[in-house]
Amino acid sequence: MFNQYLGISPKSDLLLLQMLAARLHNRTFLHINSTREGGGVAEILQRMTPVLTELGIDARWEVIEGDSKFFDITKKIHNALQGTSEEITDTMWQYHFEINSKNAEKLNLEADAVLIHDPQPAPLIAFKKTGLWMWRCHIDVSNPQKEVCDYLMQYCEKYDATIFSVAKFAKAMAIDEFIVSPSIDPVSDKNRELTDEEITETLSKFQIPTDRPIVLQVSRFDRFKDPIGVIKAFRIVNKYNDCTLILAGSPATDDPEGEIVLNEVKEYAANDPDIYILLLPTFSDKDINALQRIATIILQKSLKEGFGLTVSESMWKGKPVIGGATGGIPLQIIHGVTGFLVHSVEGAAFRIRQLLNNPEMAKKIGENAREHVRKNFLITRQVRDYLSIWYTLENKGKSILEL
């Protein structure tokens, strides 16, 4: 599998990966999150675990289990960390801890390095026995609800280090903090080249016409992704440029609000024949790939966003992307060079029309976007970063060339 990245990923990343893997050969690396299905974290771990294994590292991926009450609480925590006003009571925090305690009894937490992803399993640090433990935050915590963030930090500060996606998300803590951007896997079903037959199969399955330009947003049905704002922008554009809108997403098992938001979006779309709302089954990677490849312009009009893997996925396919100027999206979109950043519905509509009316600009932006992703946001770079942090923490900051 590792050889698949030759000629795709930068040579420097591949060389450093091999050096780090030689130092960490046969060591154990455990990842824990809250779902195997839906969302960027699960997607990254599905691809990263086999890469680590092929490099000679004993990598494991475990998932905590919880009931609907637990995931209702963790969704409120997630929303509060992204700035929404939520009431998290002491009883709710206690239940959050209790579910993690029950998971700790069932999970094998023994490993040389443990990476805990996001708030749901954060309390597992209370059950640490051995190894180096790191907490990884994938969400936008630039402006959190203070009391919720402060409570969670009581767990986070017990880790050996924390990892954030963007520098402005980092908090003042007495432990080491690192910045690691998420990534996409260029050889996965979601990002590999597709044949014409594979693309046609997806178009036929969803009965999508290709006689007009297609505007696409792929994301969970989540208010922070602003799907209704996308529809508003599209309706402004469609007065002047005849086009089609596709809103596509898969459910996440740890997001109890998904169905509610999906119904809100359907109601707002009001059976508009120019709008296609697709609830895709989990693991619809090839279909998402095909939709991104047939799209003329791709949006990620998020109001809050830890990173937004769909931005890099779309850029990798040479598409011009319009993204909300929030969270980790500006790391990927260099305004006017690799895409456009917007702050409003009207701004999104303006940029969609600009790109539809200037195909040469759209083509050039798409080319710049693909190269930007190749250099910065492929999975080999993220694996390199994680192994570098592990190695650095264990060897007190010494260079890999010093030992």
Q: What is the 3-state secondary structure (H, E, C) of 240-276?
A: CCCCEEEEEECCCCCCCCHHHHHHHHHHHHCCCCCEE
- The pLDDT score that the predictor gives to residue 257 is 82
* SS3 label, residue 137: strand
Closest C-alpha to 55, from 379, 398, 393, 322: 379
* pLDDT exceeds 90 at position 323: yes
Q: Is 389 exposed, middle or buried (0-12, 13-18, 19+ CB in 10 A)?
A: buried
Q: How far apart are CA 197 and CA 364, in angstroms?
A: 27
Q: Distance between CA atoms of 354 and 100, rounded to whole angstroms?
A: 49
Give start-end residues of each CATH 3.40.50.2000 domain in the chain.
Answer: 2-183+378-394, 196-376
Between the alpha carbon of residue 35 and those of residues 32, 45, 250, the distances in Å are 9, 10, 13
Dihedrals φ, ψ of 354, to 5°? -60, -45
Mean pLDDT of 5-13: 91
Candidates 1.10.3720.10, 2.40.160.40, 2.60.120.10, 3.40.50.2000; correct CATH number of 196-376?
3.40.50.2000
The reported pLDDT for the residue numbered 170 is 82
The pair of structure tokens assigned to 252 is: 């996440």
Residue 175, Cβ neighbours under 10 Å: how many? 13
d(CA 265, CA 304): 18
Task: State the pLDDT at residue 317.
Answer: 97
Position 35 scores a pLDDT of: 87
Question: What is the rounded CA–CA span in Å between residue 151 and residue 92?
Answer: 12
pLDDT at 291 over 70: yes
For 168, half-sphere exposure in the C-beta direction (CA atoms, 13 angstrom radius) is 14
Cα dihedral 50/52/53/58 (nearest 10): -130
The average pLDDT across 52-79 equals 93
Pair of tokens at residue 82: 């992204």
Q: What is the pTM for the complete model shown?
A: 0.89
The pLDDT mean for the chain works out to 93
Which pLDDT score is estimated for 42? 86
* Greater model confidence, 173 or 81: 81
pLDDT in tens, 180-219: 999 999 999 999 999 999 999 999 999 999 999 999 999 9
3-state secondary structure of 110: coil
pLDDT at residue 398, as a whole number: 67
The 10s digit of each residue's pLDDT in 73-84 is 999 999 999 888
Beta bridge partners of 113: 29, 132
> Taking a C-beta distance cutoff of 8 angstroms, is the pair 249, 279 a contact?
yes
Does 368 have pLDDT greater than 90?
Answer: yes
Q: Identify the pLDDT of residue 360.
A: 97
Q: How far is 62 from 164, CA to CA, in rounded Å? A: 21
Q: How far, in Å, CA of 99 to CA of 102, rounded? A: 5
* pLDDT band, very low/low/confident/very high, at 39 (cuts 50, 70, 90): confident
Which pLDDT score, from 0 to 100, does residue 101 have? Answer: 96
pLDDT above 70 covers a percentage of the chain that reads: 97
Q: Rounded distance, CA 122 to CA 73, Å?
A: 13
What is the residue whose two structure tokens read 């996308």?
230
CB atoms inside a 10 Å sphere around CB 150: 11
What mean pLDDT comes out for the span 122-145?
A: 92
Helix (H) or strand (E) holding 314: helix 309-316
Residue 333 reports pLDDT greater than 90: yes
Listed residue (250, 225, 391, 386) closest to 308, CA to CA: 225
Radius of gyration of the chain measured on its C-alpha atoms:
21
Q: For the domain bounded by 2-183+378-394, which CATH number is listed?
A: 3.40.50.2000
Answer whether residue 103 shows pLDDT above 80.
yes
Q: Is the pLDDT score of 232 beyond 80?
A: yes
